[in-house]
Amino acid sequence: MKRNLNTLCFVLVMLCIVALLSNNIDALQLCYEMGKGTAYTDATQKSFLIKTMIRAVDMNILLIAGILLIIVVSKINKGLVFVWQNITLFRWIGYLLGIHALVSSAINYVEKQASETFEGNPFDYQGVIAAIFVLMVAEIFAIGLRMKEEQDLTV
């Protein structure tokens, strides 16, 4: 059981690293071209820097959520499953995923307005669904913990 959980945690971390690198390859290329002086005007550079800063905030939100998830997994590995601290951490992960969905949607909306070829809906439904799912897991843990506490009191 713990081995499966650790394997899934490792795969999740690797996927996060791959996503971080793949999302920033074009940004790194643009930074290189701007450094050489072969790319864009000042207005484009300013908008690029603003978008890059917003994406950095978004990535930091996901980084914090990932760190909190690793903390939860380590507590579960130690046998601390139904404790209030895990529930609080799950709730924070859910809130951070919700904030990520909003920031990601804002980035997509701005890119849609700037681009004529953007297709699809700029709203990040997957992020909202993930946030709601994690918040539901937190509430299920809270219900389980309350039931455990009531059972401990009756014995």
Q: What is the pLDDT of residues 63-109, one digit of tens each?
A: 899 889 889 988 988 988 889 999 999 999 999 999 999 998 888 88
Report how far residue 2's alpha carbon sits from residue 4's, in angstroms, rounded to the nearest whole number.
Answer: 5
Asked if 68 and 88 count as a contact pair (C-beta separation under 8 A), the reply is no
CA–CA separation, 22 and 75 (whole Å): 31
Q: Transcribe 62-99 into DSSP letters.
A: HHHHHHHHHHHHHHHHTT--S-HHHHHHHHHHHHHHHH
Q: What is the pLDDT of residue 83?
A: 92
